[in-house]
Structure 1
Amino acid sequence: MKKKEYSIVISSAFLVLVFLMMFSCKNENNETSETAENDSNKNTSEKAIPEDLKWSERMMLSEIKRFPKASKLDFVDKPRWSYTNGLVLTAAQRVYKQTQKEKYYDYIYAYADELIEENGIIKTYDIEKYNLDMIKSGDVLLYLYPKTKEERFKKAADTLRKQLAGQPKTSDGGFWHKKRYTHQMWLDGLYMAEPFYAQYTKMFSEGDKAEKAYNEIVRQFDLIQEHTLDKETGLLYHGWDESKEQKWANNETGTSPNFWSRAMGWYGMAMVDVLDYLPEDHPGREKIIGYLNQYAEALLKVQDQETGLWYQVLDKGDQDGNYLEATGSSMFAYTFAKGANQGYLSQKYLEEAEKTYKGIINNLVTVEDDGTVNLNQCCAVAGLGGDPYRDASFEYYVNEEIRSNDPKGTGPFIMASLELNK
């Protein structure tokens, strides 16, 4: 073969090779592009919160999505030790118990790990404020200590128990809600302190010391019944001022003027949860179960029959501005369901819990495109006194901020979902 012809053959072969390489790359790019497009379509069709899970887990995952750090639950910018964290993490404990998915345990542990220093000091907490709200997250410590044996968790729990030992009291022995709320008992405080107090006593106290603690716990329920119960309706007022000095306090009785849904919700949860730890042979058990039955019967009389829900101000559903409120309704569903499941209430209350739960799903729950679950129409916050002054009037309660996904609603919703196996 001549040199010129040989060169032409080589050149032709090179061009064919280049063409084949270009064609191959083009096909590879097309396949890669098609694969990426298919993956993209697959990812967009997958939901962040799977809808085939139970409502309890769907809401728990939604809370973790909203608040990746449990220390910032309740829409806060900085980590803090507070009762809302303890409430949602109590729900997380129960979701973990049912599912055994480490994600939920890790979420609980991360909260305590972040806020409890090696020496047991609780970050952002000040014992001198004697604020019962701060006791609630102690439930997390009592949960983690037996599992981890980390002494810092026991030391922090001891600090909260020390607060209870020094908590200012009314003349008849009732815990003030906070040191700055002098002479006042609020329904809220029963849930914030008594389940922790009872569990701590069961875990760490014996003999006369334990008996004295259990008696004091039951005494708080006795006093709240004595001072805040309205005998005509069976409902309990939000708060009581022994001194009758507060502008919201009745001149004769010292009670606040209205029946707030969530205050009653706190109280109901306090009763069913403290019974988990009060000894079977303690006479206070039967008293609290009696209070619970009286409470449940009174609530049915003010329930919205069409939806199974309750109004923000319980007995004034027909007044302008009142609304069906999510946190209280979720708390009542949980209280009724657990009360019936544990045998404290008759089985009709399990049916009532089902009715309320259905009302919550149909009227107050929405689901986003990615599966995130929202609980709507939650009262953000309400209290008594303070600055600016909260007068506990009907107008005050119905005009406080309403928002979605308040942890004071999502936590009880998760616990009600578990009790009802939804």
Structure 2
Amino acid sequence: MADTGSAGFWSYTHRDDELVEGRILRLAKKIGNAFELITGKELEVFVDSTEISWGDSWRERIDKALLNGTFLIPIVTPKFFLSQECRKEVLTFSGHAASLGLDDLLLPIYYVDVPALNEDPSADEVMAIIAKRQWVDWRHLRLEDEGSQRYRSAINEMALRLKGIVESVSPSPILTALESGSAEESSEDEPGFLDVMARAEEVMPRWSETLNEISEVTTDIGSHAQWASDAMAESDRRGRGFAGRLAVVRQMKQRLETPVIRYASLSSKYASELVAIDPAFIAVIRQVADGGLAESDLSAAREFFGVIKGLVESSRQVYPMLEEFSDSVKVPAQQSSDLRPLMKKLGSSIQQVIDGRTIIEEWGRLIDETGLIDDADGQ
């Protein structure tokens, strides 16, 4: 890839921008202009993730140009965490940036207050990633007049911060070691090829088993939902009215408590482990792609990649069920306050599994690009 300048990918929901009458997009332009004025160099700003140019540039830069100063700038609002695309962007970018020791390239702008982010973000993997970053607090600034001195000063400060990060970006010890083919010379705290392979050997079977258990619990919860549907129909047939329906809902709550708790435990461990190991996995895949492995290690890498591809396929089989399941739990939550807390817990747990699939799919894509295994190997 030819040398490119700095770039900023804005991750936000279009509805949020509509609600503030275009201020989010204007903010992106103003920060880009301020950066260019200060540095004399253009900050290429990508703002519409639905455009082909966003997707092409995103993929190219996230693979090869993070060291040039490629930022992901999430505009954090309550709707941001409800957007599947925004969540995917944070998960994918953070894994790549962390694998290079470049966490500062994920620079959130905290735009509207999100209580869970301030209180306990650990239950949501994307919130946890955002909470660990030094965000720019725009919660009060967004109410300022765009022409005010305070607003313009804040934009200047943001541009200066971007400039400082670009100037400080340099290859991490692990990246230098991987590119030279000598991972053993990296920092003592950085995992090497054998460390990651040993970790993979430990966790991969557990992840596959967890996916199977999640599928089983999903079926169990679905059977209870079907029971409730049949019981309500019978109650209506007997003319028991809304009181009869409410009684069914309360019985459904009792039936669901144990499987929902089980589901939450499985999904939380599954997602948190994936996020924790994601940077190391990406670094190893990059090492293979760059030819940084000895011939004796390639067969082990090939086997490892085959297992990951199998995990990708397993997640793809579970995912359609998850999407349908996620939609279905919203209905009973709307019908009765008795079920609402339980359904909210279940909905959050389903999201964690969906987040995990984002990470696994990215591993699969990177493995495909190495050319080390073909589709048949990954089946």
TM above 0.5, yes or no, is no
The higher radius of gyration belongs to 1
Q: Which has the higher helix share?
A: 2
TM-score norm. by structure 2 comes to 0.30
